[in-house]
A and B are shown apart, each in its own frame.
Chain A
Amino acid sequence: MATQHSRSAARLMMAPAVVLLLGWMLVPLTMTLFFSFKKYLPLRGGDLGWVGFDNYIRFIDSSAFWPSVQATLVIVGGVLAITVVLGVALALLLDQPMWGQGVVRILVIAPFFVMPTVSALVWKNMFMDPVNGLFAHLWKFFGAEPISWLSEASMQSIILIVSWQWLPFATLILLTAIQSLDSEQLEAAEMDGASPVARFGYIILPHLGRAITVVVLIQTIFLLSIFAEIFVTTQGSFGTRTLTYLIFQRVLESQNVGLGSAGGVYAIILANIVAAFLMRIVGKNLDA
């Protein structure tokens, strides 16, 4: 049992981490809130006074706002759909008995360890380039006209790149979840004559429910703020300007800090809505 002494020692040991994270959270957040109510243009006059909710209204009113929300949702939704569906399929496949399972696992997981700038550039130049890219060769081989991927099918291209990066994550987590499934249950169902489809629909999928939720929530948080993939490919053009990228442009490119900060507050609110769901699941698991 913990004594009074060890309790206060424990509090002391927690202090550095708590204080650091508290500062990391509160200081920039307060500053963002502060700037969001100001007309603040560092390169064109600096601090031009308080403007109330002006920035919040102007950020939403700007013609770039709704397209950026749409781009964000399409990318997040597209990547989630692809990674979850393919992730379940791949996890089921990798769970089967086979030769060289360890090596296949390594091959499948590898993209997750590739830094975002590398994967974006490799895909952009070596696969999606309309002249020298592999896709162009493949299209020509089948007698089709090569596509200029990142301008003509920009969203699909970004979704493909990001899905490739995140599929390993989804697969790995779903595979872990499948492997925790009691195989006797499956065998019993099989003996009772349940078809593979029924076994999947009534046993495996319900068992995966929570893992899928976790994959969706964690990926959503990371996908809402993808940056490098757009930064090195389209730079936000061709309809790929996400909310994150729009805020980045407002703050660092056009140096309209007030406006960008208001956008930042919107992004924080959006992320917190998703985070709230994730925290509830994680919290429940802590009790168990």
Chain B
Amino acid sequence: MARSVTPQRKAFNTAAAWAVGLLIFFPILWTILTSFKTEAQAINDPPLFFFFDWTLENYAVVQERSDYMRFLWNSIAIAGGSTLLGILVAIPAAWSMAFVPSNRTKDILLWMLSTKMLPAVGVLYPIYLIFIRLGILDTRSGLIVVLMLCNLPIIVWMLYTYFKEIPGEILEAARMDGATLKEEILYVLTPMAIPGIASTLLLNVILAWNEAFWTLNLTAAKAAPLTAFIASYSSPEGLFYAKLSAASTMAIAPILILGWFSQKQLVRGLTFGAVK
């Protein structure tokens, strides 16, 4: 990466990249700005950029009228719960595939991945029916299970690729020293695997947080997370731009911050190791 270029060239690159970057980021920036305007300023003609009376009123109103905290809590419980549960199920599986591979390991990995390719809409009614029969429609626990199953292949894959990078000799040494399987996992593997587990956790929380098929179709009032809360702004509340913006900003802010930390893992997690 030590390519030397003229300062002019570098200045040109910088200007071009920043222009494109800001253009792509603009819708988010505009949403954040609008969330601090009054409703009248939000639809002012011509549009107001920075010079308006900044207000926090919209955030207060959104919370008061729609009980934002409940949706936020649902999102946190569903995204966090499904990811934690998925990781608990995936760690042993990924461990055994990475360290005790058999000639079927590759087939199993690919098969797991193939379940992720199943279009959700193809099984919408069966899942809907099962949810009704079990009485878990519009419950957090129902969604936690479904999103866990949706993301389980990605979780197993990510953990598998991370575990693969841990030298097997260390585990063998531990085994020679008489560590039981449990001790081996608990005291040797886990500390070394924590960075990989953390990135897996991060990316899958993001994926679950933004999931918008099952969360829209399997929830109503009680268990609806932020995806469904925002969808309820579709009409006619969506015409109140400032409030829509405040609600949107609150819905995306936590995940934007998490996302920026996870950008490196993103490539690995979403291409299943096909691009490094």
Contacts and interface: CB of A to CB of B under 8 A. Distances in A.
B47 A137 contact: yes
A115 B252 contact: yes
B109 A97 contact: no
A32 to B, nearest CB: 6
A102 B174 CA distance: 41
Contact of A32 (B22, B123, B255): B123
B121 A109 contact: no
Contacts of B117: 221, 271-272, 274-275, 278
Contacts of B273: 282, 285-286
Nearest to B15: A98
A148 interface: no
Contact of B89 (A17, A27, A110, A260): A17
Chain A at the B interface: mostly helix, strand, loop or mixed?
helix
B89 A16 contact: yes
Interface in A91-131: 93-94, 96-101, 103-119, 121-127
B212 A228 contact: yes
B274 A285 contact: yes
A35 to B, nearest CB: 6
Interface residues of A, number: 106
Contacts of B128: 251-252
Given A32-B122, A137-B45, A126 B14 contact: no
A28 B125 CA distance: 8
Interface string A212-256: 001000100100110110011000000000001001100110000
A227 B122 contact: no
Interface stretch (A51-59, A74-82, A171-179, A197-205): A171-179
Nearest to A16: B89
A270 to B, nearest CB: 8
Given A10-B96, A248-B124, A21 B252 contact: no
A26 to B, nearest CB: 10
B210 A279 contact: no
Given A28-B126, A247-B121, A108 B24 contact: yes
Q: Report, as a range, how many residues of chain B touch the other chain.
A: 35 or more
A93 B16 CA distance: 8
Given A96-B17, A176-B275, A282-B273, A113 B122 contact: no
Contacts of B271: 173, 214, 218
**Most chain A C-beta atoms within 10 Å of own C-beta, residue among B21, B28, B230, B270:** B21
A62 interface: no
Contacts of B153: 21
A218 B271 CA distance: 7
| Ranked 7 nearest A-B pairs via Cβ | A13-B92, A10-B96, A113-B259, A28-B123, A228-B212, A31-B126, A264-B122
Interface of A: 2, 6-7, 9-11, 13-14, 16-18, 20-21, 24-25, 27-29, 31-32, 35, 90, 93-94, 96-101, 103-119, 121-127, 132, 134, 137, 141, 164, 167-169, 172-173, 176-177, 179-180, 183, 187, 210-211, 214, 218, 221, 224-225, 227-228, 231-232, 244, 247-248, 251-252, 257, 260-261, 264-265, 267-268, 270-272, 274-275, 278-279, 281-283, 285-287
15 contacts: A28-B127, A28-B130, A32-B125, A109-B263, A111-B25, A112-B259, A115-B210, A126-B245, A227-B212, A227-B216, A232-B234, A252-B124, A272-B114, A274-B117, A287-B106
Given A100-B14, A113-B252, A132-B43, 20 more contacts: A9-B96, A10-B97, A13-B93, A17-B112, A29-B123, A103-B21, A104-B17, A104-B21, A105-B263, A110-B25, A110-B256, A113-B255, A122-B244, A134-B47, A141-B46, A167-B24, A214-B275, A227-B212, A244-B121, A271-B122
